A and B are shown apart, each in its own frame.
Chain A
């Protein structure tokens, strides 16, 4: 194909095209020039790219994480996998070049805008050192280790506050009548105590009915939502949803549709 290159596109149109490329291509093209390096790091560009990729089936990726147990060691891996390939062919091969190996044992906490949050610990002779971290499988980068010193009965949820463009991890402890909530903003270096739940998230009916992570909170549109039991409105225990707004860090409560709010009775 004959290639002359005398037509120049203005920067706004170049940005339109770049927002359609894969993350791998964009990261490589940061080497094109200093201005390309800067503009591809601009948060407006990143938002634009995120929006375009969520609308483009060719760029939507599934993150697959698994662990392999080999004798005494367990290796954790994550790989981003294009959804459209799975739709075309339900069985596919993944090149080990694309793996993102994780050095520690990890539990998946949540994902948001392509970022994955893990709760990790290292096994070893000393007491396990626990921390959280956020990884971006598309750019193959990860955040610093986020440590915490508050006990082990805390659960975690991961979410995004669009108004301040901050990713947040919510740590909470919900016992029978008692609860505590803390928030960590990615980029900060400390946890903050915030307002407590108005109604405590439903923990478990008894020790074997529901696993611990059953009600860790669902992230949706800048809020995190938990199922809770509330007696105050109808004097009978009814399920409600307690919803935390990530920008104001305050709560709202929602009633469930009739029929879905009854607490199951177990004999």
Chain B
């Protein structure tokens, strides 16, 4: 079969199928930024719809939006602020998990920093709730730890 001119690969789109069966299109150059997707393309070919079992129709469009901006223009601080502005904690975590699964490095680093920013100066109780972690210290153990580092408890934000 004759090879097509390589200039057409820049406008080539890849079809991605989410875990809940929906199909989305993405530019080949954006797909390259997600190493998991690229590996699947290398294995299965770029004409096949790539299955993404762990990513769903709720979050994939948002991820595609991020990488569309990445390949067509610069991702600015304003764009990033706007991108996460209306997302609640669970939504950010879901995107973060998806970026990890897709091995989408830029998005992963941006979201880890965003989550870190959301936790800055927050209380211990807030963080337990955020990550769903049980407190397994006895009251005595916990108050001893708090006393040892009393200075780190100063200037923390009020829980909402």
A binding-site residues for B, Cβ under 8 Å: 1-9, 13-14, 16-17, 20-22, 24-25, 27-37, 97, 140
Contacts and interface: CB of A to CB of B under 8 A. Distances in A.
A20, A28, A36, A140 interface centre (most CB from chain B within 10 Å): A28
B120 A32 contact: no
The secondary structure that dominates the A interface is loop
Interface in B129-144: 129-137, 142
Contact of B120 (A2, A25, A30): A25
Contacts of A13: 96-97, 100, 112
A24 B128 CA distance: 17
Given A32-B124, A33-B128, A16 B112 contact: yes
B79 interface: no
B116 interface: yes
A9 B129 CA distance: 12
Contacts of B100: 13
The secondary structure that dominates the B interface is helix
Given A21-B119, A33-B128, A3 B89 contact: yes
Contacts of B132: 5-6, 8
The 7 A-B pairs at the shortest CB distance, nearest first, are namely: A20-B116, A7-B93, A28-B152, A27-B152, A7-B90, A2-B88, A31-B124
Given A4-B88, A4-B89, A28-B149, A20 B131 contact: no
Given A1-B88, A3-B160, A7-B97, A29 B124 contact: yes
B54 interface: no
Contacts of A14: 131
A140 B148 CA distance: 11
B116 A8 contact: no
Interface of B: 88-90, 93-94, 96-97, 100, 112-113, 115-116, 119-122, 124, 127-137, 142, 145-146, 149, 151-156, 160
A3, A22, A31, A97 interface centre (most CB from chain B within 10 Å): A31
Contact of A3 (B88, B94, B116, B137): B88
Given A5-B89, A9-B97, A37-B145, 14 more contacts: A4-B89, A9-B93, A9-B131, A13-B97, A13-B112, A20-B112, A22-B120, A24-B152, A25-B122, A27-B149, A28-B152, A31-B137, A32-B131, A32-B135
A36 B116 contact: no
20 contacts: A2-B88, A3-B90, A6-B132, A7-B89, A7-B94, A7-B97, A8-B132, A9-B97, A13-B97, A17-B112, A20-B116, A21-B116, A22-B120, A31-B137, A31-B145, A33-B133, A33-B135, A34-B137, A36-B133, A97-B154
Contact of B131 (A8, A22, A28, A97): A8
Contacts of B154: 97
A173 B105 CA distance: 51
Nearest to B144: A31
Given A28-B124, A32-B127, A6 B136 contact: no
Nearest to A56: B113
A140 B132 CA distance: 29
Nearest to B154: A97
A25 B154 CA distance: 10
Contacts of A27: 149, 152
A5, A35, A97 interface centre (most CB from chain B within 10 Å): A5
A5 B137 contact: no
B121, B132, B152 interface centre (most CB from chain A within 10 Å): B152
